[in-house]
Amino acid sequence: MDAIRRGEARQASRIREFEGRRYHQTILFIEEKDRIRIYGTDITGQ
């Protein structure tokens, strides 16, 4: 995420836990729209 904030990258990924479940997130910066898009996949049990 820091690389996206600094403008060094347009994509990052991370694993987060929420309410006992694990999620893989892909974070994309859409420059043309000045937006951040987050795609998440539940990876609990993998």
Predicted confidence (pLDDT) per residue in 19-31, tens digit: 999 999 999 999 8
CA–CA separation, 44 and 35 (whole Å):
28
Domain range for 26: 2-42
pLDDT in tens, 1-46: 778 878 888 899 999 999 999 999 999 999 889 899 999 999 999 8
Q: DSSP for 1-46, please give it.
A: -HHHHTTS-SEEEEEEEETTEEEEEEEEEEGGGTEEEEEEEE-TT-
Report the number of distinct structural domains present in the chain.
Answer: 1
